[in-house]
Amino acid sequence: MKKLYLFFSALWLTIFLHAQSIEKKHTHVLWTDNDTFSVRFSNYPGAPDRFQVSRKDTTDMGTDGAPGMYAMIYYGKDSMRVMYRNTPYFQVHYIPISSPKGKTIYRLHFNPFSADFPPEYIKANKGKVQFEIPEVYELANILWILSPSGRKASDLKQTGGYYETVLNHFKPWMDHPVFKKLDFPDSVYFSKYFDFRENSLAWSFKNNEMVYHGPYYYVMGNDWDEFNSIFKAQLPLIRDFVEKSNYRAFFKSKQGFYFRQIKRQQELMPVKKMWTWLEDQFPARYNAYKIIFSPLITGSHSTQNFSTFQYPDLFRETVMFVCGPDRFDSDKSLTEKQKEGLLSGVVFTEIDHNYVNPISAKYRAQIDSIFSKPQFWVAAGSTSNWYSSAESVFNEYMTHALFCIYASENYDRETASFIIQKREALMVDGRHFIRFREFNKALMDLHEKNKNVKISDLYPELLLWCSRQG
């Protein structure tokens, strides 16, 4: 059997480059005398998919890319291996295949992928919760808090010993040109902030060099083809800042502080307990959790989930970006258990979007109808600008009410009552979800009356209650 290896073949007629994406047209025609060809991808070890060759036909088949993967094309008695060589970006091949029936152009594509978890990562982290202050992520937070946009922000911790240490160390480089690139109008602040902060997770240091090599390649933004981000665009300036400011020595000198922060975060955020509780109430399943935080963050939390298919299983990891463990320390009247409850609410209401949102999507038409007048549910203001769709409004109600049920079942009555009152005040008075107290009571009553029913199965009755409001 003759084998062709296209990653060092000279048979490409044209190579089209679209930023990082690659498209290749092949001139060598593959001949098959039985009018069929088949394709097998290296991450699917089963039988290959079989295709017919016919005139005026274009066959389009592909899969998500992954480091080291390839496709095998079997035609007649021969085969050809096509390697994926464009991590993590799009790669497509146009390959002519002929037979007695005619000619087919096979469009073989490898889709871009935002994360890839190698087998050793999956083995080490399956079933576990990680808490981290990544070095490059903390660099992004320091750059932002010192930037013109960051200095105007209200969701960053611009007081305290750590902040003062950051300010004093980096003050001599405040005129570095990177800061001029981080000056945005207030109207786009949050989109730019999340784009810059969270996409920094795709970089890490290796041999004193900041590199882009996974397992994350893109976290948040609008460019899911080329994975462009503000952080990526400013890499030359960021690398220059790292070298001139001696950032790595600063980060190393704070390891004791970071260790204590991580230890306390683990104590105040019992994520494994939340994970178990949610998967008892909802059908979604995740294999690993990661809590990413910075001591400089007090608000603006978010969650993302990533997956890698490794035959025969899909590994799914959820990543939460949250504040540090000191957020509620300024209130000296709080007990440690109350702090735990309040801080747990921060991460729980990010985690549970991964469980709530897929169920809500099944009831989208009903939710769109019931919540068609968002002003009934959310008072006009800054919060309403972020939740413009009916489904997003419902999901906020649902995720925060879900936390109140979790609190009622995992804390003593007095602590649970305190946590729930604080959550209701936050939602109604702080975030202007003006019907939250009524919604919360309705869901808690439904759950109390149906203890043997999963909360995901209470959606019809809850939505019926919602439809009767107003």
pLDDT digits (tens, 9 = 90+) for 202-221: 999 999 999 998 999 999 99
Mean pLDDT value across the chain? 92
Contact between 244 and 173 under an 8 Å Cβ cutoff? The reply is yes
Query: Which pLDDT value is given to residue 11?
Result: 39
Examine the pLDDT at 135 and tell me if it is beyond 50. yes
C-alpha 341/C-alpha 306 separation (Å) is 27
Confidence class of residue 7 from pLDDT cuts 50, 70 and 90? very low
HSE toward the beta carbon, residue 282, CA cutoff 13 A = 23
C-alpha 360/C-alpha 9 separation (Å) is 49
pLDDT digits (tens, 9 = 90+) for 21-79: 999 999 999 999 999 999 999 988 888 889 988 766 788 999 999 999 999 999 999 99
Query: Which pLDDT value is given to residue 19?
Result: 60
HSE toward the beta carbon, residue 342, CA cutoff 13 A = 21
Strand ranges across the sheet with 129-132? 129-132, 288-293, 313-322, 302-310
Query: Which pLDDT value is given to residue 55?
Result: 62
Residue type, 387: Y
Contact between 442 and 465 under an 8 Å Cβ cutoff? The reply is yes
C-alpha 27/C-alpha 36 separation (Å) is 19
Q: What is the mean pLDDT of residues 432-444?
A: 97
pLDDT > 70 in the chain, percent: 94
Query: Which pLDDT value is given to residue 382?
Result: 54
User: 3-state class of 64 per DSSP?
Assistant: strand
Query: Which pLDDT value is given to residue 20?
Result: 87
What is the crossing angle of helices 353-362 and 271-281, to 10°?
20
Query: Which pLDDT value is given to residue 13?
Result: 43
Query: Which pLDDT value is given to residue 4?
Result: 46
C-alpha 122/C-alpha 256 separation (Å) is 28
Q: What is the mean pLDDT of residues 386-393?
A: 83
Examine the pLDDT at 243 and tell me if it is beyond 50. yes
Least confident range of 98-102, 275-279, 280-284, 465-469: 98-102
Least confident range of 38-47, 162-171, 437-446: 38-47
pLDDT digits (tens, 9 = 90+) for 98-129: 999 889 999 999 999 999 999 999 999 999 99
Least confident range of 11-15, 44-48, 434-438: 11-15
Contact between 115 and 216 under an 8 Å Cβ cutoff? The reply is yes
Is the torsion defined by CA of 218, 216, 7, 42 positive or negative? negative
Confidence class of residue 96 from pLDDT cuts 50, 70 and 90? very high
Is the torsion defined by CA of 188, 190, 193, 197 positive or negative? negative
Examine the pLDDT at 17 and tell me if it is beyond 70. no
Examine the pLDDT at 457 and tell me if it is beyond 60. yes
Q: What is the mean pLDDT of residues 318-323?
A: 95
Query: Which pLDDT value is given to residue 57?
Result: 72
C-alpha 301/C-alpha 423 separation (Å) is 16
Examine the pLDDT at 386 and tell me if it is beyond 80. no
